[in-house]
Structure 1
Amino acid sequence: MAIQILGMIWHREASEIISASSTFDKEFIKNIAQAHENSGFDRILVGYWSDQADGFLVTAHAAAHTSKINFLLAHRPGFVAPTLAARKLASLDHLTDGRLAVHIISGGSDVDQKKDGDFLNKQQRYERTNEFLDIVKQEWYSQTPFNYQGQYYQVENAFSELKPKQQHLPIYFGGSSDEALRVAAKHADVFALWGEPLAGAKEHLNKLNPLVHAEHRTLEYNISFRPIIAETEKLAWEKAQHIYQLSKQQLQQAGLQETRKKPQSVGGDRLLEAAKQGDVLDQNLWTGITSLVQGSYNSTALVGTPEQVAESIAAYYRLGIHSVLIRGFDPLQDAIEYGKELLPTIREKTNHIDQQIQKTS
């Protein structure tokens, strides 16, 4: 199967090394979406933050200025009723001409959840997510009214005349806790991992695959990295150190470095544990920014030439991870740069793996 390559967009130009110059920039949304489409990305993630722009609207604007690229909208259950969320997603799927998938995020931080008025603990959030997806899928696909009686949601005679434009709207899901894995096994089409070393990624697959088989389902995997590429390996590592210094300086200026605490999420814990093993793992997996931000998000980088980074991604493909999300520290320019050599090289190497498998099967 062909590898799926995802990018990420948001509503303004900002990153670890770029200070935000605005709170919302609709021209930037258009430009970065078009850059990803022109570079050959298959899909772009629109993230979720408790203090930033609404992802539904960002996605709709980006879709209006693109024609081919698919979208992955992050959504947190608990703030929109599942029947309404299902209709909103179905509506957006029609607006995007069937280019939508949804990434369900139960929420890894109590502090962040409380900003939007959610005071459930992590286990309760995953229980709620399970019920949320039960209802969403019935709202999408049921041809007759249905009832649902759960701990967190109850509906009577629920029915949506509006269905997604696609026959099946894909659900992405992430999380490393046991609760998360159970929900993923039941509901997800694609399970999203942060950029762990090869051994850690393989551990996830070995743990989740039996749960998926027990549900009589199949599951694809996605993994996220922050590639840092240059013409030579030496220049790439110099670039990585420059990014580290700029990121450290920006954190200090914003007064955020002292507020970084041990993450609540198991995924964040796993990234920090990996970082403790060394700054560079496997061939070129760099954990410098991971340590700096205390495992707060997908922050591990693959460093090297496009050939070296593509080879590292191909190693995960051999494990059975057939989708990768890559985003840079200079989001717009890196998306353009990745399209020149990195994306074609990734596809060349993974296609070669598929051909080898076909010859031996």
Structure 2
Amino acid sequence: MAASVSRPEPKFDWFIPIDGDGIRLGTQQAERPPTFEYLRDVVQTAERLGYYSLLIPTRFVNGLFDEGAPLVETWTMATALAAVTHRIRFLIAVRPGFIAAGLFAKMVATLDQISHGRVDINIVPGGIANDFERLGVDIDHSGRYEQAEELMQSCRALWAGGETDFEGTYITLRGARCSPTPQGTPRFYQGGASPRAEALTARQADVYLMWVEPHEQIAERVERVSGLYHAEGRTPHFGLRAHVVVRDEVDEAWAMANDLIAYADADVLQQRRGVMVGTPMTGQQVQAQRVADHRVGPHLWNGLSTVRVNCGTAIVGTPEEVAEELFGYWQLGIDEFILSGYPHVEECERVSQDVLPRLQAKIAQAR
């Protein structure tokens, strides 16, 4: 996609590590447990440095350390963190079906009021193998996407105000109300690499999120999903989720990447391998593909997929190399970048100081 003066200003987001944090990943316990005090440091650092938003994921068990290691609940923590920030937005990941739609719409509207309009929602319809079943939910992959579509539709209807009726396969509303409504309609973000996910996002989502892959694959996905959006009479917007490992010297960056997983526990590695058995998630399979030295591109490394569920690929290099790699994604049509690095406080500072100014200069020159 060619650069265009009509494109919005790019947005740069950070990540809230609800599994815990540190420089040694895949161990039994995190070096930095996900306490409120630590996560507050992460989000307040990102806010001070001018990031646009924070993605807080959703999990049922720890997905970075041992499954039994501490893991905070997404909505409760997001609410607490919103109360100790002032400007930065929160992109809150949710799995449809665990909270009744009418109540969920009210929860979003309430947090929107508390935060003065700083809430967006990341809809996560898919799930790793046996994940939903842990909490007694048994619904097939296609049903999850139908349920997700009904959730987005019913929430928008409720947020419009007035008395709402909605009749779906999974969600039924009869004379439901949501008052007060959000200050501004929260945006729905959605990812997923399957044809069903792409079709759903084109119909309902405001932003399509992708995990980082080589430029060629991202270009193909942007073109395909853009066509689906246009067929629905809608304008596509694209976001990219990526880890970054940045050091002044390239060899130091690659050494740091490998060190992140060098101390992983054998039981944790087995837990992560078990996640891949029978998973219906196309994107997860792509992230965990086996390649020599985990290098899926000159600056792309998927070693994190051995210790982490979901997004498992990082951009590795010097500040200039990482900025150039991200600029390539911007040229393809990405306008929002959700970044992270371990540990999240220090790397939030490093990326803000060393990478983003270079990237912003490249974008400004190309516009």
Structure 2-normalised TM-score? 0.88
CA deviations over 1:296-323 (Å, ceiling 9, x no partner) = 3111111111111011000000000111
Following the alignment from structure 1 to structure 2, what is the Cα–Cα distance between the partners of residues 260 and 129?
22
Q: CA deviation at 1:332?
A: 2.2
Asked if structure 2 preserves the Cα contact closer than 8 Å seen for 1:251 and 1:257, the reply is: no
* Matching of residues 1-361 of structure 1 within 5 Å: 1-11=8-18, 13-14=20-21, 17-18=24-25, 19-20=29-30, 25-51=35-61, 52-141=71-160, 143-166=161-184, 168-246=185-263, 249-252=264-267, 256=271, 259-262=274-277, 263-273=279-289, 275-276=290-291, 279-290=294-305, 292-293=306-307, 296-354=309-367
Q: CA deviation at 1:256?
A: 3.0
Bigger CA drift: 3-12 or 118-127?
3-12
If each structure's helix is expressed as a fraction of its own residues, which one has the higher value? Answer: 1
Following the alignment from structure 1 to structure 2, what is the Cα–Cα distance between the partners of residues 328 and 23?
16
Following the alignment from structure 2 to structure 1, what is the Cα–Cα distance between the partners of residues 251 and 201?
40
Following the alignment from structure 1 to structure 2, what is the Cα–Cα distance between the partners of residues 250 and 39?
34
Asked if structure 1 preserves the Cα contact closer than 8 Å seen for 2:53 and 2:89, the reply is: yes
Q: CA deviation at 1:146?
A: 2.6
Q: CA deviation at 1:279?
A: 3.4
Following the alignment from structure 2 to structure 1, what is the Cα–Cα distance between the partners of residues 177 and 98?
20
Following the alignment from structure 1 to structure 2, what is the Cα–Cα distance between the partners of residues 241 and 351?
33
Q: Which runs of 5+ in 2 are unaligned?
A: 1-7, 62-70
Q: Which runs of 5+ in 1 are unaligned?
A: 355-361
Following the alignment from structure 1 to structure 2, what is the Cα–Cα distance between the partners of residues 282 and 11?
28
Alpha-carbon RMSD = 2.2
Change in 2 beyond 3 A, CA 1:15/1:77? farther
Q: CA deviation at 1:288?
A: 2.5
Following the alignment from structure 1 to structure 2, what is the Cα–Cα distance between the partners of residues 278 and 245?
13
Asked if structure 2 preserves the Cα contact closer than 8 Å seen for 1:9 and 1:33, the reply is: yes
Asked if structure 2 preserves the Cα contact closer than 8 Å seen for 1:39 and 1:338, the reply is: no
Change in 2 beyond 3 A, CA 1:258/1:277? closer
Change in 2 beyond 3 A, CA 1:16/1:195? farther
How many aligned positions are there? 347
Structure 1-normalised TM-score? 0.89
Match of 2:282, as an amino acid?
V
Asked if structure 2 preserves the Cα contact closer than 8 Å seen for 1:17 and 1:250, the reply is: no
Asked if structure 2 preserves the Cα contact closer than 8 Å seen for 1:11 and 1:28, the reply is: no
CA deviations over 1:79-110 (Å, ceiling 9, x no partner) = 11111111100111111111111101113224
